[in-house]
Amino acid sequence: MHVSLTARQWLLIMAGLCLAGVAAALVGQYRFGMHPCPWCILQRVLFVAIALVCAVGAALPSSAARRSAAGLSVAFVLCGIASALYQHFVAAKSSSCALTFADKIISGLKLDVAWPAMFEVTGSCADAVVSVLGIPFDFWSLGLFMLVGALALRVLPRA
């Protein structure tokens, strides 16, 4: 069985996956006490940015808009992959991650002030080392970025 979806549908799927990832992080934070570090929050910001770009691209009538949305999504995905890898291999091994690049972006965008329930840093990088089903949470994020990136690459020639 072969399912053929349009570029618009793929973009909406990508947006939904990103929002589901953010929802999972919020459930982890508020239901299970997983306190996000700056790198966790930066990944949330990137997932929200991808979701917005994909939703706008899907809503616009031109194929150029959908191609642009997919291309911009790839750029955000690469940032997300770098962020997840940095969090796992560098930041998680430090006792403090205050005033890092991620912290500067979050405070510079004032997201932590505008929407603290979603974007406020409440944990340190060392405290944010959590596994779900034996897999580090940052690797779940990495996997989701990779999946969304693969879908974006699929949209590019279709748009």
Domain-by-domain residue ranges, the chain? 7-158
Tokens representing 62?
Answer: 């031109």
- Can you tell me the distance from the alpha carbon of 112 to that of 81, in angstroms, rounded to the nearest whole number? 22
The per-residue pLDDT string of the chain (159 residues; one tens digit each, 9 = 90 and over) reads: 566 899 999 999 999 999 999 999 999 999 988 889 899 999 999 999 999 999 999 999 999 999 999 999 999 999 999 999 998 888 877 766 667 888 889 989 999 899 999 999 888 777 666 777 888 888 999 999 999 999 999 998 866
Residue whose C-alpha is closest to residue 7's, from 46, 48, 57: 57
CATH topology of domain 7-158: Bromodomain-like (1.20.1550)
pTM of the model as a whole: 0.92
Rounded to whole angstroms, the Cα distance separating 80 from 50 reads 10
Partners of residue 135 on adjacent β-strands: 132
Q: Are 148 and 73 in contact (CB under 8 A)?
A: yes
How far is the C-alpha of 27 from the C-alpha of 42, rounded, in Å?
Answer: 17
Q: Judge residue 25's burial from the number of C-beta atoms within 10 Å of its C-beta, 0-12 exposed, 13-18 middle, 19 or more buried.
A: buried
CA distance 96 to 110: 21
